[in-house]
Amino acid sequence: MVPETKIPAYVRDVKYYETDRMGIVHHSNYIRWFEEARIDYFGKVGTPYVKMEEEGFVAPVLSVECNFRSMTRFGDRVAIVLTLTECTGVRFGFSYRVIDCTTGALRASGKSEHCFIDGKGMPINFKKMGKKYFDLFSSLVGVETMFEP
Amino acid sequence: MVPETKIPAYVRDVKYYETDRMGIVHHSNYIRWFEEARIDYFGKVGTPYVKMEEEGFVAPVLSVECNFRSMTRFGDRVAIVLTLTECTGVRFGFSYRVIDCTTGALRASGKSEHCFIDGKGMPINFKKMGKKYFDLFSSLVGVETMFEP
Amino acid sequence: MVPETKIPAYVRDVKYYETDRMGIVHHSNYIRWFEEARIDYFGKVGTPYVKMEEEGFVAPVLSVECNFRSMTRFGDRVAIVLTLTECTGVRFGFSYRVIDCTTGALRASGKSEHCFIDGKGMPINFKKMGKKYFDLFSSLVGVETMFEP
Amino acid sequence: MVPETKIPAYVRDVKYYETDRMGIVHHSNYIRWFEEARIDYFGKVGTPYVKMEEEGFVAPVLSVECNFRSMTRFGDRVAIVLTLTECTGVRFGFSYRVIDCTTGALRASGKSEHCFIDGKGMPINFKKMGKKYFDLFSSLVGVETMFEP
């Protein structure tokens, strides 16, 4: 399934328990938001991650980074805009922008890299073993999800 | 193994990321501290929980409750004092008191109930299936871990 | 504002990071879901919690409890159905039921109690100091939010 | 205070609630471990972070990254070895290595960058405003904390 129209970005409200005593969202939660955005994305492009895992495709995180630009607070709604940046068959990557839904201000940007492993922890070449995923993901490289304030 | 001397209570520092925008430890973290204290306890009485799980004894939480008495903040060190309150073979329970290590003030008190299940999620009667655990835990009922400021 | 129609229950998907090595949602997260459901509720009845805090009404948790009935897993969508059970002017309480949106199965039930304090941590009698909240909440006591599978 | 002897690395056990349904520590928790290690470090070099905040020096995270090398599981004990890599007066940075205490295997490596802001969120040049911190931190640049299995 290759979507012809743009995929909407993942949107969510800040949770109270995500704030810390600085009165802002604790930085570690952005890493969790990236994951939420990835999983939302897999669902929106027709390959729910829970099904991928059931089929034996597990996608651990190889690396993650985040640059914090401005603070996010309780009461804010954010969009996590995402781009699948790379898909080589043994590795795939995403970039992220966290945007305040009200002001459009950039809150943070980041990246993550992943591979696929099987249930025993061995790397999978999904160009061979999971061609449907490889073909889909390859077609999506470079296309950012859409956020309109 | 039945310890002849008192078991020391579990002590830990508040983490920055455990605070919320009220400037205090978010209440949900006390539930995690109870778990930390249980796991610390299992280790101290000679039955590390990781080994119990490896043997097929998994102990999910059936219920948990916590009463918050006063606030805990970043910079505080707390002791989670614990008592194994019940052990019937199909169910066991703990009570907890969270104490500020500096002042001795009671921060919170709580309870939890657990059973044992096997790897397939079926309940285990550990009076029969895990007699060594049953005998040990039975011997420990009512004995509170020790905290001295 | 007293809603004439039923207030819809809070619905959310399980996050991957909420699961633990048992393959289920870690029990501490239900306590966070209760908070999410409260905050969603305050918004739906016209008194967003972020505004209440800005006005100086902070509502810490006095007690919380949860009974776990069946397991929730990644891939599940749950409704947290909520009832404001009590409102006395110095204290208010909620009860909760966590329901699997697909099967309607009860996953957990729970309760929480709260008071209002001001910015300095002193208790507020909101029958006097926050009459608009008291009147609203009093009118809502006993009315469960609505979930239809 | 400039320590003449090596500063011991921060050591901690994996918490059960830090694992996810892959059976490993969820990647977001390494970001929290980095914070724990920083706060432990500030305490060990004589400038507890809670006191720095009380004096009006708040150190938000500007960026963070982590490379995951091998998996960490419940039952493992890890050392987070840390180096203060940079201190310019407006910015300071750390690098981290997460090491399995039993095997010495590298679990992850990472970096973080920070600045100091005051209570109103304005950047502080701590070469001027917090010279004692600047002098201390400058003296510590490049010195890794010590872990011996």
pLDDT digits (tens, 9 = 90+) for C31-65: 999 999 999 999 999 999 999 999 999 999 999 99
A3-7, B7-11, C125-129: segment of lowest average pLDDT: A3-7
DSSP string, C58-102: B--EEEEEEEE-S---TT-EEEEEEEEEEE-SS-EEEEEEEEETT
Q: Is B5 exposed, middle or buried (0-12, 13-18, 19+ CB in 10 A)?
A: exposed
Q: Partners for C (CB, 8 Å, 3+ pairs)? A: A, B, D
- Digit-coded pLDDT (tens) for B86-145: 999 899 999 999 999 999 999 999 999 999 999 888 999 989 988 989 999 999 999 999
Among D20, D40, D76, D100, the active-site one is D20
Q: Which contacts of C93-99 are long-range, i.e. CB under 8 A and separated by 24 or more positions?
A: C94/C34, C94/C38, C96/C34, C96/C37, C96/C66, C98/C30, C98/C33, C98/C72, C99/C9, C99/C147
Considering only CB atoms, A35 lies closest to which of C16, C39, C49, namely: C16
A89-93, C2-6, C56-60, D15-19: segment of lowest average pLDDT: C2-6
The whole-number pLDDT of residue B120 equals 86
Q: What is the per-residue burial (b if ≥16 Cβ within 10 Å, else e) of A128-147?
A: ebbeebbebbbebeeeebeb
The whole-number pLDDT of residue D104 equals 96
Q: Among residues B32, B22, B15, B21, which one has the least CA distance to residue D43?
A: B15
In degrees to the nearest 10, what's the CA dihedral of B127, B133, B138, B144?
A: -150
Within an 8 Å CB–CB cutoff, is residue B71 touching chain C?
yes
Residues from chain A that touch C17, judged by Cβ atoms under 8 A, are 32, 35
The answer, yes or no, to whether residue A2 has pLDDT greater than 70, is no
The percentage of residues in chain D with a pLDDT greater than 70, rounded to a whole number, is: 97
Can you tell me the distance from the alpha carbon of A8 to that of A44, in angstroms, rounded to the nearest whole number?
8
Considering only CB atoms, A66 lies closest to which of D24, D60, D63, namely: D63
Across the interface, do D16 and B74 touch by the CB < 8 Å criterion? no
Within an 8 Å CB–CB cutoff, is residue D19 touching chain C?
yes
A114-123, B93-102, D98-107: segment of lowest average pLDDT: A114-123
Residue C149: pLDDT band with limits 50, 70, 90:
confident
Amino acid at B105: A
The answer, yes or no, to whether residue C3 has pLDDT greater than 60, is no
Across the interface, do C17 and D23 touch by the CB < 8 Å criterion? no
The whole-number pLDDT of residue C4 equals 59
Residues from chain B that touch D60, judged by Cβ atoms under 8 A, are none
Can you tell me the distance from the alpha carbon of A119 to that of D49, in angstroms, rounded to the nearest whole number?
42
Amino acid at A88: T
* Sheet order of strands, B61-68 included: B10-13, B77-87, B92-100, B106-114, B61-68, C61-68, C106-114, C92-100, C77-87, C10-13
Q: Where are the beta strands (DSSP E) in D37-123?
A: 61-68, 77-87, 92-100, 106-114
Considering only CB atoms, A75 lies closest to which of C32, C50, C75, namely: C50
Q: Partners for A (CB, 8 Å, 3+ pairs)? A: B, C, D
Contact B90, B111 (CB under 8 A): no
The answer, yes or no, to whether residue B1 has pLDDT greater than 50, is no
The answer, yes or no, to whether residue C1 has pLDDT greater than 50, is no
Residue D72: pLDDT band with limits 50, 70, 90:
very high
The pLDDT of A71-98, averaged and rounded, is: 97
Residue A148: pLDDT band with limits 50, 70, 90:
confident
The answer, yes or no, to whether residue D3 has pLDDT greater than 70, is no
Considering only CB atoms, C68 lies closest to which of B29, B58, B62, namely: B62
The whole-number pLDDT of residue C146 equals 96
The percentage of residues in chain C with a pLDDT greater than 90, rounded to a whole number, is: 87
Beta bridge partners of C111: C65, C95
Within an 8 Å CB–CB cutoff, is residue B39 touching chain C?
no
Within an 8 Å CB–CB cutoff, is residue B11 touching chain C?
no
The whole-number pLDDT of residue C76 equals 98
A35-44, B123-132, C101-110, D136-145: segment of lowest average pLDDT: B123-132
The whole-number pLDDT of residue A1 equals 47
The pLDDT of D136-140, averaged and rounded, is: 95
Here the tokens at position D80 are 């987070």
The answer, yes or no, to whether residue D4 has pLDDT greater than 70, is no
Interface test with D, best of B11, B13, B52 (most D CBs within 10 A): B13
Can you tell me the distance from the alpha carbon of C10 to that of C44, in angstroms, rounded to the nearest whole number?
10
The answer, yes or no, to whether residue A3 has pLDDT greater than 80, is no
Residues from chain D that touch A24, judged by Cβ atoms under 8 A, are 60
Across the interface, do C75 and A50 touch by the CB < 8 Å criterion? yes
Residues from chain D that touch B15, judged by Cβ atoms under 8 A, are 32, 35-36, 39
The answer, yes or no, to whether residue A120 has pLDDT greater than 90, is no
Contact A116, A130 (CB under 8 A): yes
The answer, yes or no, to whether residue C143 has pLDDT greater than 90, is yes
The pTM of this model reads: 0.96
Known catalytic residue: C135?
no
Distance from CA of D36 to the nearest CA of B (A): 7
The answer, yes or no, to whether residue D1 has pLDDT greater than 50, is no
A122-126, B47-51, B113-117, D9-13: segment of lowest average pLDDT: A122-126
Neighbours of D142 (CB within 10 A): 10
Tell me if residue D134 falls in helix, strand or coil: helix
Give the dihedral sign, CA D129/D131/D136/D139. positive
Residues from chain C that touch A75, judged by Cβ atoms under 8 A, are 48, 50
Considering only CB atoms, C31 lies closest to which of B27, B35, B58, namely: B27
Across the interface, do B67 and C66 touch by the CB < 8 Å criterion? no
Within an 8 Å CB–CB cutoff, is residue A64 touching chain D?
yes
Mean per-residue pLDDT of chain C: 94
ipTM, 2 decimals?
0.95
Residues from chain D that touch B74, judged by Cβ atoms under 8 A, are 50, 53
Residue C145: pLDDT band with limits 50, 70, 90:
very high
The whole-number pLDDT of residue A119 equals 82
Distance from CA of A4 to the nearest CA of D (A): 33
Give the dihedral sign, CA B31/B12/B81/C113. negative
Can you tell me the distance from the alpha carbon of D4 to that of A96, in angstroms, rounded to the nearest whole number?
43
Distance from CA of D41 to the nearest CA of A (A): 19
Query: How far is the CA of B17 from the CAs of A25, D19, D47, D68, D114, in angstroms?
Result: 10, 17, 19, 21, 16
Within an 8 Å CB–CB cutoff, is residue B121 touching chain D?
no
Distance from CA of B135 to the nearest CA of A (A): 36
Query: How far is the CA of D46 from the CAs of B11, B50, D42, D61, in angstroms?
Result: 21, 36, 6, 21
Beta bridge partners of D99: D79, D106
The answer, yes or no, to whether residue A32 has pLDDT greater than 90, is yes
